[in-house]
Amino acid sequence: INVPPPTRIAIGTVTVNTTVSLGTGTITFGAFTGTLDFAANDNNVTCASVSGTGTGTRTLSMGDGTWTMTAATGTPWNFLTTTNLTLNANGSTLLLSATATNARTISTGGTTLNNVTVTNATRDGFSIRFDTACTVAGNLTLTNVGQVRMDAGLTVSGTMTYDGTAANPAIILSVATAMTLTVANATILNYLVLQGITKAGAGSIT
């Protein structure tokens, strides 16, 4: 009797085929073993925050959709611990969209994102913090962000847009020792204050 070999099934692979909208909910998968695949259908995702920090052998493929984080405080994008993590940013955009008067943190754990956009209704009292090294492979766009605080290096491979005004300038500062801002393309930033920042990369900052 000839018995065919068993079919191998990928255990722990979740392929998303619809728009995801969780309101104030959070996607947490730091202990997950397997793959979260949003790239097969390039879905948009809206939730308060995403936490992938942990040690599970996990893969996140973000696809080409927009990931909208609505949390107005805390760490809407939390990948502080990236042990056993594979993150494929694909053509995605990470959007922090809440109207906030508090600091918010983007914690990448050294992973690479594609486009990153942070918007706010007003600059007053609002800052964004990169607490780990971050590479933005696409464009970094910051609108009405009072301060950008860096605990580690920040690399922008695409276009960086971050303007202030004469009365309320844009500020990029290091939290502790001098940090490196690497830009690949020539960048013009209006009303910008730098504190404790070393510039690197082929692109100029004017």
DSSP labels, 75-109: EEEE-S-BTTEEEE-TT-EEEE----SS-EEEE-T
**Element (DSSP H or E) covering residue 193:** strand 192-195
pLDDT score recorded for residue 93: 98
Work out the number of other CB atoms within 10 angstroms of the CB of residue 57: 13
- What is the reported pLDDT for 100? 74
pTM here is 0.91
pLDDT digits (tens, 9 = 90+) for 117-130: 998 887 766 789 99
Question: Confidence band (pLDDT; 50, 70, 90) for 3?
Answer: very low
How many Å apart are CA 165 and CA 179, to the nearest integer?
A: 24
Token duo for residue 91: 């053509």
Q: Which two tokens stand for residue 26?
A: 């959070």
Percent with pLDDT over 90 in the chain: 78
User: What is the per-residue pLDDT for 161?
Assistant: 95
What average pLDDT score do residues 139-159 get?
A: 94
- Mean residue pLDDT of the chain comes to 91
Whether the pLDDT of residue 10 is over 50: the answer is no
Q: Which two tokens stand for residue 185?
A: 């393309």
Contact call for residues 147 and 173 (beta carbons, < 8 A): yes
- pLDDT value of residue 125: 63
More reliable by pLDDT, 12 or 156 = 156
Tokens encoding 145: 């962000």
Strand, coil or helix: 192: strand
Q: What is the pLDDT of residues 153-202, one digit of tens each?
A: 999 999 999 998 898 899 999 987 889 999 999 999 999 999 999 999 99
CA dihedral of residues 6, 29, 15, 13 (deg, nearest 10): -10
Q: Is pLDDT at 9 greater than 90 in this prediction? A: no
151 with 176: CB under 8 angstroms?
Answer: yes
- Residue 112: Cβ-neighbour burial (10 angstroms; 0-12, 13-18, 19+): middle
Exposed (0-12), middle (13-18) or buried (19+): which is 194, by Cβ within 10 Å? middle
- 83 CB-near residues (< 8 Å, 6+ apart): 54, 55
